[in-house]
Amino acid sequence: MHLACEIIARYVLPNFRSLVARDLVEKYGFTQVKAAKNLGTTQAAISQYLHSKRGYKGIEQHELFQPMIQSAANETAKRIATEKIDTDEVMINFCKLCTSLRKDGNMFK
């Protein structure tokens, strides 16, 4: 048995960061260094997200939730690019996503 927080931290958070990083670099023209600073991670992590070496493992079993994760990531990237939100607000956005995912207990079965 895995705790909901374990599943979120292991699979959803890396997927969310990967999607935000991809949007920041590809859609909004951020450098990997700038994207890393905004996400509170390293440039190397951003590179791995962009090359699908990090962020996608295990999430396929929860693909029903991928549109919700994608939507939250797109909104977060847009806010970073246009409103200059800080890393604390990025994590607050992620916490809101987590709460939404936990309301539908199917992710944790």
Can you give the residue ranges of every domain in the chain?
4-108
pLDDT tens profile 1-34: 567 778 788 888 888 899 999 999 999 999 999 9
Helices 13-22, 43-50: inter-axial angle, 10-degree rounding: 90
- pLDDT of res. 106: 58
- pLDDT of res. 88: 86
- pLDDT of res. 97: 86
Question: How far is Cα 104 from Cα 89, in angstroms, rounded to an integer?
Answer: 24
Backbone φ/ψ region at 40: left (φ over 0), alpha (ψ -120 to 50), beta: left
- pLDDT of res. 28: 97
10: its two tokens: 């292991």
Question: How far is Cα 87 from Cα 106, in angstroms, rounded to an integer?
Answer: 29
Question: How far is Cα 8 from Cα 105, in angstroms, rounded to an integer?
Answer: 12
Q: Give me the helices (H) in the chain, please.
A: 4-7, 13-22, 32-39, 43-50, 66-83, 87-103
- pLDDT of res. 62: 58
pLDDT tens profile 48-89: 999 888 776 655 555 677 888 899 999 999 999 998 788 888
Check: CB of residue 94 under 8 Å from CB of residue 87: no
